[in-house]
């Protein structure tokens, strides 16, 4: 009976070693890559949101988008409604109040499925575009493989009565 116990012990030892080599005991899966972080630059005109011969603050929302089509087709007046949900939006919108003559930078952690950034500005009396879209850098972009902080999209210039560089 003794040889049988030795064979069983050897079988258990071999099974444990094989299991640990396959990752069953103690090895962890690799951590997910850190999210891309980029800076959204908002450059406000000294005559920002010009109304009644006065510059005013401007409310801006930025949406990370898996598709930009719905953003471009949606009426901006709907986007300011309480509880509005943007189809194709990834994560919560970023909201900011911009002051005349300032340059503001907001660091944004890119959502995994986001490919574009949509910015909508709520002007009192818009005479120019109120929406802008920017392509977001992607993790597989060759120039960004080793960067934790991606190159920011070009600065969005907020003019007196519209976005100046859509």
Give the pLDDT score at 2. 53
Give the pLDDT score at 25. 60
Give the pLDDT score at 152. 53
How would DSSP label each residue in 114-164? Answer: --EEEEEEE-SS--S--EEEEEPP-TT-GGGTT-SBPPPPPPEEE-SSSBS
Question: Do the beta carbons of residue 107 and residue 77 sit within 8 Å?
Answer: no
Residue 52: alpha-carbon gap to chain centroid: 36
Give the pLDDT score at 144. 47
Domain 37-158, CATH = 2.60.40.4150
In the numeric block, which tokens belong to residue 43?
A: 């450059």
What is the residue-averaged pLDDT of the chain?
81
79-91: buried (b, 16+ CB within 10 Å) or exposed (e) per residue? Answer: beeeeeebebbbe
Instruction: List the chain domain ranges.
Output: 1-31, 37-158
Helix H or strand E segment including 40: strand 37-44
pTM: 0.73
Residue where the block lists tokens 């258990």? 12
| Residues of the chain predicted below pLDDT 50 | 1, 11-12, 14, 17-21, 142, 144-145
């Amino acid at each position: 009976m003794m040889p049988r116990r030795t064979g069983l012990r050897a079988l258990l030892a071999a099974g444990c070693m094989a299991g640990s080599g396959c990752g069953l005991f103690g090895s962890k899966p690799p951590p997910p890559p850190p999210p891309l972080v980029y800076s959204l630059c908002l450059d406000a005109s000294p005559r920002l949101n010009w109304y009644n011969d006065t510059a005013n603050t401007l409310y801006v929302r930025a949406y990370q988008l898996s598709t930009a089509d719905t953003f471009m087709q949606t009426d901006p007046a709907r986007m300011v409604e309480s509880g509005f949900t943007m189809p194709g939006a990834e994560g919560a919108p970023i909201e900011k109040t911009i002051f005349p003559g300032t340059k503001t930078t907001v660091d944004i952690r890119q959502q995994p499925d986001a490919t574009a950034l949509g910015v909508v500005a709520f002007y009192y009396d818009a005479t120019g575009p109120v929406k802008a879209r920017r392509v977001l850098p992607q993790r597989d972009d060759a120039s960004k493989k080793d960067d934790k902080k991606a190159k920011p999209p070009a600065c969005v210039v907020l003019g007196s009565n519209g976005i100046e560089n859509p």
